[in-house]
């Protein structure tokens, strides 16, 4: 079984939480019994999370050797220059080593996107922009660290695809079997 979930902002990519106060978890979305997340999204990231009851499939989806590209819409602080986009495409140096090259392009603000609760902070004096970024790795907070490394801090991060699996029209908190 393979399930696509649109993980909302603030929810954890696990079924339990022992923190105080507790955060929303996957247990609150009415998912079938026996599935678990194939990969993670930080609590402050949104979008596509795949869940499965098949360990081999989970491995194929998450192991970097299987080259499942992960595609994100990224709202960044600042206007990306051609040089900043090229640095992302070339791979950037992070504190845990260089990243693999990414696919990166500037986008118009998505007109289909749901509002975030709470909303992203708005600053009159600092512009923001949207990027589409696809990576073949999955290091901890990698997209946020990559955009920061080129001078474009991430304001909002939404995963829209993992390999051939797309978020589609799922609203936050909704899921569907694939």
What was the pLDDT predicted at 117? 84
Nearest to 143 by CA among 97, 102, 96, 83: 102
Same domain for 78 and 8: no
Specify the number of domains making up the chain: 2
- pLDDT-derived band of residue 151, with 50, 70 and 90 as boundaries? very high
Nearest by Cα to 140 from 172, 103, 99, 90: 99
Domain that holds residue 144: 69-162
- In terms of C-beta density within 10 A (0-12 exposed, 13-18 middle, 19 or more buried), how is residue 109 classed? exposed
78, 129: one domain: yes
Residues 81 and 34 in one domain: no
Residue 19's pLDDT band (cuts 50, 70, 90): confident
CB-based burial of residue 163 (10 Å sphere; 0-12 exposed, 13-18 middle, 19+ buried)?
middle
Whether residue 143 sits in one domain with residue 84: yes
Percentage, residues of the chain above pLDDT 70: 100
What per-residue confidence (pLDDT) applies to 111?
A: 93
For position 41, what pLDDT does the model report? 94
Specify whether 103 is located in the same domain as 129.
Answer: yes
124 has a pLDDT exceeding 80: no
Count of C-beta atoms within a 10 Å radius of residue 105: 13
- Could you give the CA distance from residue 75 to residue 155 in angstroms, rounded to a whole number? 5
What CATH number is attached to the domain comprising 26? 3.30.70.580
Residue 17 falls in the annotated catalytic set: no
Q: Are residues 15 and 48 in the same domain?
A: yes
- Please check whether residues 138 and 173 belong to one and the same domain: no
Q: Answer for the pair 68, 163: CB distance below 8 angstroms, yes or no.
A: yes
Tell me the average pLDDT across 94-109: 96
CA terminus-to-terminus distance, the chain: 8
Can you give the CATH number for the domain in which 107 is found? Answer: 3.30.70.1560
For 62-88, write each residue's pLDDT tens digit. Answer: 887 777 899 999 999 999 999 999 999
**pTM, whole model, 2 decimals?**
0.94
């Amino acid at each position: 079984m393979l399930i696509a979930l649109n993980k909302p902002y603030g929810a954890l990519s696990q079924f339990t939480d022992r923190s105080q106060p507790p955060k929303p978890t996957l247990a609150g979305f009415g998912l079938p019994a026996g599935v678990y997340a194939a990969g993670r999204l930080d609590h402050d990231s949104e979008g596509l999370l795949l869940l499965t009851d098949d360990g081999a499939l989970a491995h194929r989806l998450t192991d970097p050797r299987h080259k499942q590209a992960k595609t994100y819409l990224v709202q960044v602080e600042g206007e990306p220059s051609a040089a900043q986009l090229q640095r992302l495409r070339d791979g950037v140096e992070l504190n845990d080593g260089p990243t693999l090259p990414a696919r990166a392009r500037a986008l118009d603000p998505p007109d289909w996107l749901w509002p975030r609760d709470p909303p992203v902070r708005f600053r009159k004096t600092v512009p923001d922009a949207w990027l589409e970024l696809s990576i073949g790795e999955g290091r901890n907070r990698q997209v946020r660290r990559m955009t920061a490394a080129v001078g474009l801090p991430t304001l909002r991060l939404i995963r829209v695809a993992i390999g051939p699996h797309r978020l589609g029209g799922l609203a936050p908190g909704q899921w569907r079997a694939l």
